[in-house]
Amino acid sequence: MGDSISLVLFSGTDDKLNAAGAAAMGRKVHVFLQYWALDAFRSDRILKDHGVAPEAGPEGAAAFQRHGGQHWSEILRQAKDIGDVEIQACSLSMDMFGLGVADLDPLVDGQEGVAAFFLHAGGPVTFI
């Protein structure tokens, strides 16, 4: 269990999603997508600009834009290729947005309830 981690992605801004992708590199990871993070994984929106966290301010947002780098979805795709990364959508958030699994990017493996996620979670749970 030592090198396994569970991430709850709650926020849907590009900076936070970027951080999540990096955490997933090369280890067993369970990812649970809730609320605004789930919305960012809709296949029609995944590559759109999701902004940055409010604390960035205009200067921070500009720095993030300039810095560029790989898109978080690409980092997660690589992480899935090289490791054991399972991404599940929160069924409550799916209901809230009126989404089905077919509306989401293929990075998402399926949907589950919040209790199933916490019961399956290996190691500590990090909330982003």
Partner 1 sequence: MTMLNIARSIDARGMPCPGPLMSLIGAIREGQVGDVIEVLSSDAGSRTDIPAWLEKAGHELLEVVEEDGFTRFDVRKAR
Per CB under 8 A, 39 contacts partner 1? no
Per CB under 8 A, 121 contacts partner 1? no
Q: Which is nearer to partner 1, 73 or 93 (CB)?
A: 93
Neighbouring C-alpha atoms within 13 Å toward the C-beta of 48: 11
Q: In the numeric block, which tokens belong to residue 113?
A: 């309830």
DSSP assignment string, 45-105: TTTS-----GGGHHHHHHHHHHH----HHHHHHHHHHHS-EEEEEEHHHHHHHT--GGGB-
Per CB under 8 A, 120 contacts partner 1? yes
Per CB under 8 A, 111 contacts partner 1? yes
Tell me which of 114, 122, 125, 128 binds partner 1, using CB under 8 A. 114
Per CB under 8 A, 119 contacts partner 1? yes
Q: Are 13 and 53 in contact (CB under 8 A)?
A: yes
Per CB under 8 A, 6 contacts partner 1? no
Beta bridge partners of 89: 33, 111
Q: In the numeric block, which tokens belong to residue 65?
A: 């834009």
Per CB under 8 A, 1 contacts partner 1? no
- 47-86 residues in contact with partner 1 (CB under 8 A) are none
Q: Which stretch binds partner 1 (CB under 8 A): 13-21, 38-46, 50-58, 89-97?
A: 89-97
